[in-house]
Amino acid sequence: MEQSHVMNLVVLGSDSTVPVTAAAATIYTYADLDDGAFSVCNDENMVLDAATVLTDDRVLLTGIKLVGRYGTKLVHTDMMKSSDIITYRAIADAAGAEQVTHVGYTGAAGAIQIINDNTYRIKVDFYEQGRTGQGVNDFVEAYYTSDASATGGEVVFALEELLRLAFNKQAERPIYMRVLNSAALDTDLDFDAAVTVVNGSKFIVSAADWSTDGALVAAAVGDFIRLGSATETDAAVALGSSVYKVVAIPAADTIELDRPVTGVSGTYTASTDAQLIQAATAEAASWGLEFHGIARTHIVGKRPYSKVAFTIGYENFGTTTTTYTTAMSLGHGNPEQIEDLEWFCQGNAGYKYRADYMYHPSYTSRVTAGHMYNQIALTWGSNSRSESIGGPGHNPKQLIIAIDTLYDDNDANDIVIDILDAWSTIASGLGV
């Protein structure tokens, strides 16, 4: 009696070059394959190709299986017959994405309307979304009442601070924000000395002082600074760069900003990567807030892969616009997703108490960090048909084949795909 109603997973590694064992030869030991490589075989471990998988007598009689090498072990999948296929589905890899939403200025258009004697209210609902259907669902909100002569430097920075402090109270901060301003770029206002930046610190340090290339002005308390590129790297400033307020200059070479820097640490290049915006210029321009989802901590078996999705609602913002710039996406074939699936499938090896990690047998993951995986999901009805009400049951099985995407034409991974496509008569679109 064979096990049914199960899901199994095999991971085809990136070092799967042309198989050591060629088509029509027989696999006897793990040494016949590269580590991580798989071949499609008949029940006698004879290696097949895209032609013989359709003509081999043993395949017609008993089906095919995948045979591969995990370290010093030879791994076999269950036998599968093409006539028993229920579904054959290919899933191409796609990187996940964090959500990015702008309120007001986006780096190109839009504005937060600045209104005198007005109570701004903003609410952010966020949900930690994953494949498991579990996750945190919560919200934060903030109120701010502007004064009789409101400015963007007052309203926008107050809202950012209130929301930032609220997000910081979460067990794991779900979202961070950036302040944007539409003042035109001006190379005469680039700082003429390199600037040292530390992620998470409110202090930035100049290699000299805070004079600018045009030699017209120097930074003063109440001014604003664009820091780094629009993607918060140590690169040239842009209209989408983060804007910080100068709240103090405690030393000739040091500025204290309104909040910790969210960009990367480094020495930002003189005359390129940091630029002054004088207070009057900034206040005459448009302001915006960028909300950016933060990658979740992933721990196999404890914290499944997930991302944060959120919606933003507000009252008394006048003509302020909201732009959903980048949608959250979990993606397909991320290494964290395959690691979670790999851990889950250990349950089908007899480890039924997977949640009790203290007693869960250790195993060596076959997933390579940072690599992406194409997938083929194959469901078939097994030979073990048990009688049930209304006739025999199908007792389906499912095999997930995770295929490291670092393969070329006629590498082992590509050969496996070509053979499976020919055998199933369904084009996966994953071959090279």
> What is the predicted pLDDT for the residue at 162?
97
Q: Tokens in use for 257?
A: 């900003």
Contact 173, 146 (CB under 8 A): no
- State yes or no: pLDDT of 73 exceeds 80: yes
Name the residue with higher pLDDT: 325 or 133: 325
- Average pLDDT over the chain reads 90
Task: Give kind and range of the element (H or E) at residue 384.
Answer: none
**Residue whose C-alpha is closest to residue 341's, from 381, 370, 305, 371:** 305
- State yes or no: pLDDT of 387 exceeds 50: no
- State yes or no: pLDDT of 429 exceeds 80: yes
Average pLDDT in the 371-380 region? Answer: 95
Contact 380, 39 (CB under 8 A): no
pLDDT, tens digit, 9 for 90 and up, residues 212-221: 998 878 899 9
- State yes or no: pLDDT of 355 exceeds 80: no
Q: DSSP code of 21? A: S
- State yes or no: pLDDT of 2 exceeds 50: no
Residue whose token pair is 């035109």 = 184
Where are any strands of DSSP class E within 212-286?
224-227, 242-251, 254-257, 266-268, 274-277
For the beta carbon of residue 350, count every other beta carbon within 10 angstroms: 8
Confidence of residue 353 (pLDDT cuts 50, 70, 90): low
Whole-angstrom distance, CA of residue 243 vs CA of residue 419:
55
**Residue whose C-alpha is closest to residue 140's, from 313, 289, 308:** 313
Contact 5, 379 (CB under 8 A): no
For the beta carbon of residue 154, count every other beta carbon within 10 angstroms: 15
Residue 65: beta bridge partners? 41
For the beta carbon of residue 171, count every other beta carbon within 10 angstroms: 6
> What is the predicted pLDDT for the residue at 16?
57
Average pLDDT in the 196-200 region? Answer: 97
**Residue whose C-alpha is closest to residue 363's, from 71, 132, 130, 77:** 71
Confidence of residue 356 (pLDDT cuts 50, 70, 90): low
**Residue whose C-alpha is closest to residue 46's, from 56, 35, 36:** 56
Phi, psi at 82, each rounded to 5°: -60, -30
Where are any strands of DSSP class E within 228-321?
242-251, 254-257, 266-268, 274-277, 287-293, 306-315
Lowest-confidence region among 403-407, 409-413, 417-421? 409-413
Name the residue with higher pLDDT: 37 or 395: 37
> What is the predicted pLDDT for the residue at 358?
55
Phi, psi at 122, each rounded to 5°: -135, 140
What is the pairing mode between strands 306-315 and 254-257?
unpaired
Q: Which range has highest mean pLDDT (70-79, 179-188, 353-362)? A: 179-188
What is the pairing mode between strands 396-404 and 7-12?
parallel
pLDDT, tens digit, 9 for 90 and up, residues 11-70: 998 765 556 667 788 999 999 888 889 999 999 999 999 999 999 999 999 999 999 999
Q: Tokens in use for 100?
A: 């990015």
On whether the pTM is more than 0.85, the answer is: yes
SS3 assignment, position 338 = helix
Average pLDDT in the 71-87 region? Answer: 92
- Helix then strand count (H, E) for the chain reads 5, 23
> What is the predicted pLDDT for the residue at 41?
96
Phi, psi at 177, each rounded to 5°: -125, 155
> What is the predicted pLDDT for the residue at 1?
36
Contact 63, 274 (CB under 8 A): no
Whole-angstrom distance, CA of residue 367 vs CA of residue 96:
17
Percent of the chain with pLDDT over 90: 75
- State yes or no: pLDDT of 199 exceeds 90: yes
Q: What DSSP letter does each residue of 120-138 carry, written as one string?
A: EEEEEEEEEEETTS---EE
Average pLDDT in the 404-431 region? Answer: 92
> What is the predicted pLDDT for the residue at 346?
75
Residue 108: beta bridge partners? none
- Burial code (b: 16+ CB inside 10 Å, e: under 16) for 235-267 equals bbbebbbbbbbbeebeeebebbbbbebbbbebe
Q: What DSSP letter does each residue of 142-161 carry, written as one string?
A: EEEE--TT--HHHHHHHHHH
Whole-angstrom distance, CA of residue 407 vs CA of residue 279:
54
Average pLDDT in the 257-280 region? Answer: 96
280, burial (CB in 10 Å: exposed 0-12, middle 13-18, buried 19+): exposed
pLDDT, tens digit, 9 for 90 and up, residues 221-245: 999 999 999 999 999 999 999 999 9
Contact 131, 100 (CB under 8 A): no
- State yes or no: pLDDT of 389 exceeds 90: no
Q: Tokens in use for 378?
A: 């194959």
> What is the predicted pLDDT for the residue at 307?
94
Taking the alpha carbons at both ends of the chain, their separation in whole angstroms is: 39
Name the residue with higher pLDDT: 197 or 136: 197
> What is the predicted pLDDT for the residue at 357?
52
Whole-angstrom distance, CA of residue 102 vs CA of residue 290:
4
